[in-house]
Amino acid sequence: MSDTNFWGDKRVTVTGGSGFLGSFIVEGLKARGAKDIFVPRSADYDLVQPDQISRMLDEAQPDLIIHAAALAGGIKANMDRPGAFFYENLMMGVPLMHQAYERGVDKFVALGTICAYPNVTPVPFREENLWDGYPEVTNAPYGLAKKMLLVQAQAYREEYDFNAIYLLPVNLYGPRDNFDPVTSHVIPALIRKFIEGQEGGETVTLWGDGSPTREFLYAPDAAEGILLAAERYNGAEPVNLGSGREISIRDLAELIAHLTGYEGEIAWDTSKPNGQPRRLLDVSRAEDYFGFKAGTDFESGLRATIDWFRDHREEIAARERVA
């Protein structure tokens, strides 16, 4: 059970609060009774620029920051823009945490990424394995940029007694996800491919051979875990946030094809990269430290995501035409 008294008098800033995960964090804050929530929008603040971080903090005056903003995407987006994924994520995070420390912010919640883990990590991934090797090359710049927030959080805690915590969400999915065919992650990409393929009578071609495994966490569940950690956890150790359920990309594709009603052929382009071989988290630390356990059944979450995409297709298409 959440601590609604924790939030009532706090000024909370949620970077990325108008985005996919951030929107669920903001909803969760409101449900908990938070009355002063500041969401800096990219049109108003370029958080890659330290002076604009400073201006944002001048206006927000936060007691607590949840840093959910990120430049993120699937394998292709990471491969196309490795420099941007490294620089923008590093420069959004490191100066923000530093200025938060300088201003005496009470708590900083940094969101990392599962991409920070070594390419070959014993399954299930345990937090103590984070430094055992180099991340999978297709998303290493992104993973390493976000990983530096862990280094910073631990260093600032040790030297300055700054209360920064670091969470590692696994691959997220859910309503409001990014369904762009170029930048989306695997679940929204598959949903869109199968729905459009069914309507056009097309063969759906997917990258790799389908053998890698992934773990997925429903975005509203992830938001709940983040808020529980903000309320209850004040330690230096990184903490995984996941569902503890592993599925191969091939099985995932077949499941989404079934749920969307796609009955055509699925082809695999093995000239394209698979990505990291396996991803499955040990999620015991989150339950032990702050009582988080994912509550949404995977198939139910997929159905809700599919329904949302169908309901918003015209809106998504209109945005893409403008872009």
Positions marked catalytic: 142
Contact present, 278 and 246 (Cβ < 8 Å)? yes
Question: Which phi and psi angles does 120 have, rounded to 5°?
Answer: -110, 105
Question: Which phi and psi angles does 176 have, rounded to 5°?
Answer: 75, 5
Give the DSSP per-residue string, 275-311: -SS---B--HHHHHHH-----S-HHHHHHHHHHHHHH
Calpha distance 229→107 (Å, rounded): 11
Residues shown for the chain: 323
CA-nearest of 267, 279, 246 to 139 is 279
Give the DSSP per-residue string, 215-227: EEEEHHHHHHHHH
Chain-centroid distance of CA 293 in Å reads: 17
Q: Which two tokens stand for residue 148?
A: 């530096």
Cβ burial, residue 201 (10 Å; 0-12/13-18/19+): exposed
Q: Which two tokens stand for residue 42?
A: 């990219």
Calpha distance 152→110 (Å, rounded): 10
Residue carrying the six token digits 């940094």: 110
**Beta-carbon count within 10 A of 202 CB:** 14
Q: Which two tokens stand for residue 246?
A: 């592993």
- 84-to-67, 87, 113 alpha-carbon distances in Å: 18, 5, 16
Residue carrying the six token digits 């590093």: 90
Residue carrying the six token digits 């996800």: 177
